[in-house]
Amino acid sequence: MIGCGSYLVRVQERGGANPRVVPVVSGRWERVVDSTSSAEVIASAACCDLLADVDPFSHELVILRSVSGTSHRVVWLGPIEEVAFDEDPETAQIRITANDLTQWWRLRFVHADYDRTIETGSGPSRLIDQVVDLNSDALAPDASPGLVVLDTTPGSTLAGERKILAAENRETNGPISELARDSIDFAAHSTAANPRAVLVGEPQINHNAGLVTTLHSSHFARAPRVRRMRPVTRVVVSGAGGGAAGDEVVGIATASAAMLARFGLIEARYDEPRIEDATSAQQAAEYRLSLLGPTAAGRAPTRVEDGILAPSAPGDLDDYYAGARFDIALSGDCISFGGRSVLTRLQCAFDGASEALTAAFTPAAFVEAS
């Protein structure tokens, strides 16, 4: 069972040196797919001396969790963004906000040329290898954040042509986010096993991983909201080039004839000028259709959100990482939902007496069946 956690908060120098425990009144943290997660803790104003020398990015915030007296384990880690001291007698407190380690991708430029085009470069390369190279490039001038990328789908061959030049002075997060929009997923891990790792997978994180557990209605202290949404049945991804004569690099993915008959033709276009070849554009179109189109069961795409997990929910919280796979089996008076799903967001709010773990899921059946 995930249990009910108690928390320990530390502040440490970038990379992990000289940790110190900070007594906090309350806090929050999250895990998300394809984005940078955030965290925040509130400390008493009595901790001023303890935090007087703490500076953003010089220091990191570490949040650890314990269940029933077990050893505290890391659940979140990242560079501090801001330390705010409020000395008003009515609201006196210290607020520390932070983002996970992928925030460094927003603060580091691409320092070398990466030309994977057939015309002028080395040709297509594996998309996950491109993320690994970009992360290594970002850390090359200063490796102190210690950020590492873990390939969760080794042996996969999804590849493409892209060109990134140092002279463009682009943030590393830009091309990595483009890859995440088109064909892969990433998430900061932030667990005790490897708190500085970012998981990357194609088309999704740990696509071939086993099931964590099955979650039933009884495993939620507050029932989740089930949202049935408009599907897309034809996706067009336009890549580099184009103009008056139309798209030069284009990928088109269309739902089955049965789904077109059921939902009608619902089209969506996405412009991705960094995609240099038709194969990559096609992969991107198929990936987007898998996320936005009808499910393998022929239903509209469905999201399961805002459910608060009960302490009796099975599994270990380390297994509830963004991108992990669950079977969801919900039954209710209004709607029932079942199927293999991906944990896309886990949010936690805690204080000295309680915690609330709120989860959001996206069905994964279409991708896993493809």
Q: Which CATH number covers residue 30?
A: 2.30.300.10
The reply to whether 186 falls in a domain is yes
Give the predicted TM-score (pTM) of the model. 0.91
Q: Is 208 helix (H, G, I), strand (E, B) or coil?
A: coil
H-helix or E-strand containing 335? none
Based on the fold, state whether residues 93 and 119 are members of the same structural domain. Answer: no
The reply to whether 206 falls in a domain is no
Give the end of a domain, one of 146, 178, 201.
201
Residue 148 above 50 pLDDT? yes
Please state, for a pLDDT cut of 90, what percent of the chain lies above it: 75
Strand partners, 307: 359
Once rounded to an integer, what is the mean pLDDT over residues 41-53? 91
Domain hosting residue 282, numbered range: 234-292
- Smallest Cα–Cα separation from 152: which of 106, 97, 205, 226? 205
Based on the fold, state whether residues 69 and 110 are members of the same structural domain. Answer: no
Please state, for a pLDDT cut of 70, what percent of the chain lies above it: 98
Based on the fold, state whether residues 196 and 249 are members of the same structural domain. Answer: no
**Residue whose structure tokens are 């956690």:** 5
Query: Strand (E) positions, 175-222?
Result: 185-188, 197-201, 214-216, 220-222
Based on the fold, state whether residues 11 and 95 are members of the same structural domain. Answer: yes
Once rounded to an integer, what is the mean pLDDT over residues 111-140? 95
The 10s digit of each residue's pLDDT in 67-103 is: 988 899 999 999 999 999 987 777 789 999 999 999 9
Based on the fold, state whether residues 94 and 111 are members of the same structural domain. Answer: no
The 10s digit of each residue's pLDDT in 216-228 is: 999 999 999 999 9
The reply to whether 326 falls in a domain is no
Q: How confident is the model at residue 130, as a pLDDT? A: 95
Give the end of a domain, one of 36, 69, 100.
100
The reply to whether 327 falls in a domain is no
* DSSP assignment letter at 212: -
Number of domains, the chain: 3
Based on the fold, state whether residues 84 and 121 are members of the same structural domain. Answer: no
Q: How confident is the model at residue 368, as a pLDDT? A: 43
Q: How far is it, in rounded angstroms, from Cα 11 to Cα 6?
A: 17
Q: How confident is the model at residue 333, as a pLDDT? A: 74
End-to-end CA distance of the chain: 32
Give the end of a domain, one of 249, 270, 292.
292
Highest mean pLDDT among 89-98, 144-153, 201-210: 144-153
Q: How confident is the model at residue 210, as a pLDDT? A: 78
The reply to whether 195 falls in a domain is yes
The reply to whether 288 falls in a domain is yes
